[in-house]
Amino acid sequence: MPLSHRVVIAVFPDVDLLDVTGPAEVFALANREGGGRVRYEVRLASPGGGAVRTSAGVRLLTDVAFGEVGGGVDTLIVPGAVDDCGAALVDREVVGWLESIAPRAGRVASVCVGAHLLAAAGLLDGKVATTHWSTADQLAAEYPGITVDPDPIFVRSGRVWTGAGISACLDLSLALVAEDHGEELALAVARQLVVYLKRQGGQSQFSVPLSRPAASRRDIDELRLYIAEHLDADLSVAALAARMCLSERHFTRVFRQETGTGVAAYVESARVEAARRLLETTDEPLASVGAAVGLGSVETLHRAFRKQLGTSPGAYRRRFRTIA
């Protein structure tokens, strides 16, 4: 039997609906795509239990009251709410509960303006955090002890995660699944959601596989998976054509027809994408990053980044490195 992972999502009056249902859907799909290996148990908790009206007017029936949650929370997710003027709301009852339960949770993650609730509970003191771009100035002004970065899709500071605005709850939840069970499962969930996670102004995950439609030929889809899993191998046209048992000329024509791009361009994009993930999540030297993704030398890594992103690997890491 798979180990259960208990997820508790806070729900309170006027909470943003997608902030709650988005993560819940990601975890449910992870259970399905995990083939019995994964078991997330999601529970909605509210101040008094029962039905809670969200900002969309839709009522959510919660599972337990705050006081009934108890211990054993592996992931605590805190959505947010805004007033009619777009300012983040801070519910003192929610804050009091967070002060009690968050220290006992395995990890804590805020969605959108839920970062303001974490801040009010003292959970972001001395940390880097993000929130919806529209309330970033409010968060920075009210909590000067927090380094607020409004651009990334999500930021990790130890066991505390903060996510950007609304639909970024999917990116954050997928990152949590990837941490628990690997990127392959997170990618499978992303495909089911038809989510394209190449986001301007933030970390980019799984964008190369998802930015291309599924091929009509199964062997090309299988080759794309092979490329993603063997980035440090020989992925030249000659090597891939031989793997497909096709002439180089015919293989090149078929690949472009099925993917809309050339072989070399696709391979380089996949390698740069993998390098971005390593730069975002590790402190590996640039030479090691380049070798791990098949780009070889630091010069080749720089050239590929300049060509595709208009920046250097070092500058990208300084901008998007998550804090472990």
**pLDDT of 263 above 90:** yes
Q: Across-strand partners of 39?
A: 4
What pLDDT does residue 215 have? Answer: 54
User: Mapping DSSP to helix (H, G, I), strand (E, B) and coil, where does residue 108 land?
Assistant: strand
What one-letter code names the amino acid at 191?
Answer: R
> How far from each other are the two terminal CA atoms of the chain, in whole angstroms?
30
Q: Which of 195, 163, 214 is nearest to 16 (CA)?
A: 163
What pLDDT does residue 1 have? Answer: 55
The token duo for 124 is 């972001």
What pLDDT does residue 39 have? Answer: 94
Q: Across-strand partners of 128?
A: 147
Highest-confidence range of 120-134, 165-179, 209-223, by mean pLDDT? 120-134
Contact criterion met (CB below 8 Å) for 162 and 130: yes
**pLDDT of 88 above 90:** yes
What pLDDT does residue 2 have? Answer: 67
Instruction: Tell me the pLDDT of the chain averaged across its residues.
Output: 88
Helix (H) or strand (E) holding 46: strand 39-46
The stretch 75-104 carries a mean pLDDT of: 95
**pLDDT of 201 above 70:** no
**pLDDT of 277 above 90:** no
What pLDDT does residue 221 have? Answer: 85
What pLDDT does residue 30 have? Answer: 95
Q: What confidence tens digit (pLDDT) does each residue in 299-315 have?
A: 999 999 998 888 889 88
Q: What confidence tens digit (pLDDT) does each residue in 95-134 have?
A: 999 999 999 999 999 999 999 999 999 999 999 999 998 9
With cut-offs at 50, 70 and 90, classify the pLDDT of residue 217: confident
Domains annotated for the chain, with CATH where assigned, are 4-206 (3.40.50.880), 212-324 (1.10.10.60)
What single string gives the DSSP state of each residue in 19-31? HHHHHHHHHHHHH
